[in-house]
Structure 1
């Protein structure tokens, strides 16, 4: 039986052994860096940002046949960085409205934002869709809700998030925010008229945040 040693191929010098030592040093350095990042991450205990849907202004919400929905909303959504030692970069954010898991408005881009420790950010995008085809089973449910004057939408925010620890920027995580918007048009006291056929509903609803 023969044994092959790293660096002894071809009978030539110690070039192979040097390469092995350099490779081992690089791997060791990478492991040390990763362990340092992991320990810092555990010590800091990062918290997800908190999102709150503050209000929704309804300009239009009309279902016509055959199953076409025209809608226009102005929303105000706030985010808070709950961390004391970690900053948050929000990249490529966009917001849209959905009804029973079906998107009903175009996606509206939100400006990229850096959020410092314990800092708040507020966005007020306009969400709209013109004669968007609605699945038949959703159209039936929506028609019933409109007749009752009460309907529930989901305001969605998707994008990328990076964390900043000191001078180090970590990760590129996909952010999913889902906020329930309960609109009660049947109760005249539930909203404030801010224009002709335009009603603003104050909600203050906490949103779910997932990565």
Structure 2
């Protein structure tokens, strides 16, 4: 009797346990599903945030590319404008030429030097007494820039040695495309030279072919439209080959023929 009466509770307990276990399984499945949904939501949100970050990075890179392109375009335009202004207003060196030469004396200094230049001191053993004149033409080839010359000095040289003291020249303003003529008279005192130079001059005068050099130094400033340059060093040298005899060199012959077209170089 006892066994028959105790069996139903155990059965009921087992049934309840089975239902409880089945409910637990359902709860586990629901929990797993919720976890799966949460994980999927987290993954989706992470993907969305990553996509947003990637899009923002792309946008920043695109803006940087646009800014770089704009900067390059502005720099190219500025360079083109600067190049155009330079080509239009760039300074052009003046051109020089010699159209006339006169030699009043070019010989070794001796006792007659005191008669020609009473105030001069006794001449050294090897010295040249020179009195020459050149007609120098300075041409401004630019039609946009004017030139200002200042601090000019000129002297004559023979075989690389000065034969006249430096003579100062007045300041000159040269307009666009204009020509300036200078005719400085150089000389006035004996200038010491080497013995080789004195002997070479005597030989060249005997051959009636003497090469002299006119040198002009100073500074020049360019004024082109709204632009003005600073002072630049000016260095002009012209090689002049003249037909000069010994008699003309000693006694003075005035104008002498130019045997070759004078070649001039200008640094400015």
For residues 138 and 209 of structure 1, do their structure 2 counterparts lie closer, same or farther at Cα, with a shift above 3 Å needed? same
- Which residue does 2:162 correspond to in 1? 103
What is the rounded CA distance, in whole Å, between the counterparts of 2:145 and 2:183 in structure 1? 25
Query: Are 1:84 and 2:143 an aligned pair?
Result: yes
TM-score, normalised to structure 1's length?
Answer: 0.72
Selected match of 2:172 from 103, 110, 113: 113
Selected match of 2:189 from 120, 124, 130: 130
Selected match of 2:87 from 42, 45, 65: 42
The answer as to whether partners of 1:69 and 1:129 remain within 8 angstroms in 2 is no
For residues 133 and 54 of structure 1, do their structure 2 counterparts lie closer, same or farther at Cα, with a shift above 3 Å needed? same
What is the rounded CA distance, in whole Å, between the counterparts of 2:83 and 2:235 in structure 1? 24
Number of residue pairs the alignment of both structures matches = 173
Moved more, 38-47 or 95-104: 38-47
- Which residue does 2:264 correspond to in 1? 207
TM-score, normalised to structure 2's length?
Answer: 0.58
What is the rounded CA distance, in whole Å, between the counterparts of 2:171 and 2:187 in structure 1? 21
The answer as to whether partners of 1:86 and 1:116 remain within 8 angstroms in 2 is yes
Unaligned 5+ segments in structure 2 are 1-79, 111-124
Give RMSD over aligned pairs: 2.8
Which structure dedicates a bigger proportion of its chain to strand? 1
Query: Are 1:60 and 2:119 an aligned pair?
Result: no
Offset of 1:207 from its aligned partner? 1.1
Could you report, residue by residue, the CA deviation over 1:87-120 in whole angstroms, capped at 9, with x for unpaired residues? 1111111110011111111111111111111001
Q: Helix, strand or coil for the counterpart of 2:98?
A: strand
The answer as to whether partners of 2:164 and 2:190 remain within 8 angstroms in 1 is no
Which structure dedicates a bigger proportion of its chain to helix? 2
Ranked by relative contact order (alpha carbons within 8 Å, sequence separation 6 or more), the top structure is: 1
- Which residue does 2:253 correspond to in 1? 198
What is the rounded CA distance, in whole Å, between the counterparts of 1:37 and 1:157 in structure 2? 33
Selected match of 1:140 from 199, 215, 226: 199
The answer as to whether partners of 1:54 and 1:202 remain within 8 angstroms in 2 is no
